[in-house]
A and B are shown apart, each in its own frame.
Chain A
Amino acid sequence: MTDFLLATAGVILFTVAVGLVRILGGPGDADRMMAAQLIGTGGIASLLLIAAATGARGVEDVALGLALLAAFASAAFVNSAAPAEDPDAADGR
């Protein structure tokens, strides 16, 4: 079972790696903003699998922290790359 968990963690990390190639290499900032999303979900999944396989304790708190920080990083990336226009101005919607 531990081998299976580690193997799946490896596969998920591989998908993160491939996704990173696309996202980090992609033209323009639009793709980069998604990096936090990708690494957030993939990273948390690998983290939980690796911890379950190797018996590290207390990892659920790290996963909670990672989830919050990935969301925070996403918001920060978007805010920096594409700052919100003045919401008081007309948006045309």
Chain B
Amino acid sequence: MSLVLDLFGIVAIGAGVFFFLAGTVGLLRFPDALSRLHALTKADNLGLGLVVLGLLPRGDSLLAALKLVAVWALVQLAGATAAQLVGRAVRRKGSAA
């Protein structure tokens, strides 16, 4: 059973790392600030979600697992709103502020 859980963890965390790498590639290669913001927010949040998913079975208790899910939900929410804020600021100031 623990082997299955370990495998699940490895797959989920591996996928999460893949999304982090994809986000960073986007960050490096996209031409302007807004698309870089997009790569950063979407890919990194998904990456964190998968990492959290992979770490859930290893939690100390149910409360710890719930806290991890709450962390992910919070980061999603805050990240999406912060992206909106930054995007609006970029549009107002022009790309190469």
**A→B interface (CB under 8 Å):** 1, 4-5, 8, 11-12, 15, 18-19, 22-23, 26-31, 33-34, 36-38, 40-42, 44-45, 48-49, 52, 57, 60-61, 63-64, 67-68, 70-71, 74-75, 78, 81-82, 85
Contacts and interface: CB of A to CB of B under 8 A. Distances in A.
Given A11-B17, A19-B24, A19-B40, A28 B47 contact: no
Contacts of B74: 64, 67-68, 71
Contacts of B78: 40, 67-68, 70-71, 74
Given A30-B93, A44-B75, A67-B74, A37 B16 contact: no
Given A34-B86, A37-B79, A82-B93, 20 more contacts: A1-B6, A8-B13, A8-B14, A15-B23, A19-B23, A22-B28, A26-B33, A28-B93, A28-B96, A30-B90, A31-B33, A37-B37, A41-B45, A44-B71, A52-B55, A52-B58, A60-B67, A64-B74, A78-B82, A82-B97
A28 to B, nearest CB: 4
Interface band, chain B: 35 or more
A23 B81 CA distance: 19
Contacts of B6: 1
Contacts of B40: 19, 34, 37-38
A85 B89 contact: no
Given A1-B9, A48-B68, A64-B70, A78 B86 contact: yes
Contacts of A41: 44-45, 47-48, 75, 79
A35 to B, nearest CB: 10
B27 A57 contact: no
Chain A interface helix/strand/loop/mixed: helix
Interface string B1-34: 0000010011001101100110110011000010
